[in-house]
Amino acid sequence: MTGPVLRVLAWPRAIRLNPHFASLNAGLEAHGCRVQAFNYWRGFVGRFDVLHIHFPTSPFGTRRVPIMLARLGLMIGVILATKARGRRVVWTVHNLADHERRYPALEARFMRWFVRRVDLTIHMSQSGRRLALERFPAIGAHATAVIPHAHYEAAPGAPMARADALERLGLPRDAVVLLALGHMRRYKNLPALIDAFAACPGDTLRLVIAGKTGDPDLMDEIRARTGDPRVIMAYGAVPDADVPVYMAAATISVAAYRDILNSGSALLALSHACPVLVPDLGAMAELQSVAGSDWIRLFTPPVTADVLRSAIEWAGRPRASRPDLAALSPDAMAAAHLRELRTLTAPAVVSKPRSRLAT
């Protein structure tokens, strides 16, 4: 698609623990966009056509009220300045609320204000769009599009052999590994997962939980439950180079989310050909329809020992070497974003609402 260079101010442009954002923005640049990383100076006075916000609730992620209020004030100021200059505001709806829910009343008030100033919402599934419209009806007055989360491109070369991965992690060669990889946050329901695993008999079973957390109370809850020697904890950020090791060792990637709309962790596991267990919440059923029931298993919360035992048996069944994720290629998803952004910023754009599947 040709036209003037589209200038995108991405908030964020990249996140170290999640390559999705860097991949998307690199894809936009490959298609001719100019993408800059957001900072407040650029937000107020920079030259851009689109402010692309992924996490509008980010100011509420801190326990320190003065910092939260300062960040919230700056976010409101940037959005007002963007609108006053005739620029467009785009929200990719990863979540409907901040995971930590520290300031629910203030967050709800801000989000009612925010959604009335968004020109385009991008949703990662049709069910996600429906849930967002139920929570925030005001977004229906503006353009919406559905663009699925892209898969994570596998590293070049042959994947690591499972025996080698188990050895690297110090696990027995006959281990059946349930893996929970990523930032340890309360909504991931890790204490409940540990409790359910503890009720599963089997000397070869291992639950590996790897990631960092900034929540000391959650850390205390987890540590109080890790007397079972079959539970392996790896505290701290997982280096990118170690992700394929964990994935190669895993029999199944397990998520016990108590609340979820989309899951980058599930896409990461699928990208490494690791079967996934997720609750039947948010967009998980749609993800299953894409990847197939051989690769995504849904359960009705809560997570229990019976759920885990059944999932372990399912994960051991023969399946294709890899799930077919061609429909979720990063390049195709970047191209879909570009089409939506160009339509939004075209001079002759009609201001009536539109809704489309942009894949």
* pLDDT tens series, the chain, 359 aa: 456 899 999 999 998 778 899 999 999 999 999 999 999 999 999 999 999 999 999 999 999 999 999 999 999 999 999 999 999 999 999 999 988 889 999 999 999 999 999 999 999 999 999 999 999 999 999 999 999 999 987 655 667 999 999 999 999 999 999 999 999 999 999 999 999 999 999 999 999 999 998 888 999 999 999 889 999 999 998 998 899 999 999 999 999 998 888 888 999 999 999 999 999 998 899 999 999 999 999 999 999 999 999 999 999 999 988 999 998 999 999 999 999 999 999 985 444 556 666 65
- Residues 25 and 141 grouped into a single domain: yes
Q: Is residue 113 part of a domain?
A: yes
Could you list the residue range(s) of the whole structural domain that residue 21 is in?
7-150+329-357
Q: What is the pLDDT of residue 226?
A: 84
Q: Is the peptide bond preceding residue 302 cis, with omega within 30 degrees of 0?
A: yes
2 domain-assigned? no
Determine contact, residues 189/278, Cβ cutoff 8 Å. no
126 occurs within a structural domain: yes
At residue 252, the pLDDT reads: 98
Rounded Cα distance, 151 and 270, in Å: 8
CATH assignment of the domain containing 188:
3.40.50.2000
Do 141 and 173 fall within a single domain?
A: no
Strands of the chain, DSSP E: 7-11, 34-37, 50-53, 88-93, 120-123, 143-146, 176-181, 205-211, 231-235, 252-254, 276-279, 296-299, 355-357
Spatial contact of 252 and 277, defined as CB atoms under 8 Å apart: yes
Percentages (nearest 5) of helix, strand, coil residues in the chain: 40, 15, 40
Contacts of 69 (CB under 8 A, 6+ apart): none
CATH number of the domain at 19, please. Answer: 3.40.50
Helices 284-291 and 264-271, interaxial angle, to 10°?
20
Residue 198 lies in a domain: yes
Task: Based on the fold, state whether residues 334 and 320 are members of the same structural domain.
Answer: no
Same domain, 200 and 276: yes
Sign of the C-alpha dihedral computed for residues 300, 286, 316 and 238 taken in this order? negative
The pair of structure tokens assigned to 66 is: 């003065």
Backbone angles phi, psi at 53, to 5 degrees: -105, 130
Q: Are residues 341 and 322 in the same domain?
A: no
| Domain-located, residue 19 | yes
Q: Number of structural domains, the chain?
A: 2
Whether residue 282 is found in the same domain as residue 304: yes
- Residue 266 shares a structural domain with residue 339: no
For residue 155, tell me if it sits in a domain: no
pTM confidence score: 0.88
Query: CA dihedral defined by 223, 183, 56, 23, rounded to 10 degrees?
Result: 180
In this structure, are 177 and 311 located in the same domain?
yes
Give dist(CA 347, CA 121) in Å, integer.
Answer: 19
Residue 157: inside a domain = no
In a domain, residue 133? The reply is yes
**3-state SS class at 267:** helix
My answer on whether 196 and 249 are in the same domain is: yes
* 178 & 120 share domain: no
Same domain for 311 and 339?
Answer: no
Assess whether 53 and 142 both reside in one domain. yes
Provide the pLDDT for residue 351. Answer: 46
